């Protein structure tokens, strides 16, 4: 599985576990719309996490995350993640799989990953930009 961050694709392993932010200095707000993301709107987030070790499931399509600490989002501490759904034709219900064929995975496993993995990939890009900045 890959996630698209800006113009770069990052492979994501669903079994990977990484810790990605300091709970003392940051939090993560999940936003509903790109407009809220673009404008760093911190009111009425879909979800707020603040332990530094939070796992959130993302959906296929656009997912928008910002740091809710004052001035952090405005300083660029935000990420939009576009998750592509798995490609291929789903098996018709009632059609038996060929012997030795693994069972197909449902949509949730094909299109989900944890935010900690997403931010781990993003933290490399953000760290590089902060060093340059």
Contact status, residue 49 vs residue 69, Cβ threshold 8 Å: no
Tens of pLDDT, residue by residue over 60-69, are: 888 899 999 9
pLDDT score for 88: 53
34 found inside a domain: yes
How does the average pLDDT of the chain come out, rounded? Answer: 67
100 found inside a domain: no
- How many angstroms from the chain centroid is the CA of residue 23? 18
Tens of pLDDT, residue by residue over 40-60, are: 999 999 999 898 877 766 788
**How far apart are the C-alpha atoms of 106 and 109, rounded to whole Å?**
6
* Cα–Cα nearest to 116, from 2, 14, 34, 7: 14
27 found inside a domain: yes
**How far apart are the C-alpha atoms of 53 and 36, rounded to whole Å?**
24
81/101: higher pLDDT: 81
| 125 phi/psi in degrees, rounded to 5 | -65, -40
How many domains, the chain? Answer: 1
Tens of pLDDT, residue by residue over 75-99, are: 999 988 887 766 554 444 444 455 5
55 found inside a domain: yes
Domain that holds residue 126: 2-10+18-85+112-132
pLDDT score for 81: 83
92 found inside a domain: no
pLDDT score for 11: 53
Q: pTM for this structure?
A: 0.57
């Amino acid at each position: 599985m890959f996630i698209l961050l800006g113009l770069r694709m990052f492979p994501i392993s669903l079994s990977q576990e990484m810790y990605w932010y300091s709970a003392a200095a940051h939090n993560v707000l999940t936003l509903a719309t790109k407009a809220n993301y673009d404008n760093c709107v911190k009111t009425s987030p879909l979800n707020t996490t603040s332990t530094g070790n939070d796992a959130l499931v993302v959906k296929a399509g656009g997912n928008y995350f910002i740091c809710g600490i004052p001035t952090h989002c405005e300083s660029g501490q935000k990420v939009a993640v576009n998750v592509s759904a798995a490609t291929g034709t789903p098996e018709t219900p009632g059609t038996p799989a060929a012997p030795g064929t693994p069972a197909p995975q449902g949509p949730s496993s094909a299109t989900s990953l944890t935010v900690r993995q997403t931010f781990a990939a993003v933290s490399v890009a953000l760290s590089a930009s902060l060093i340059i900045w």
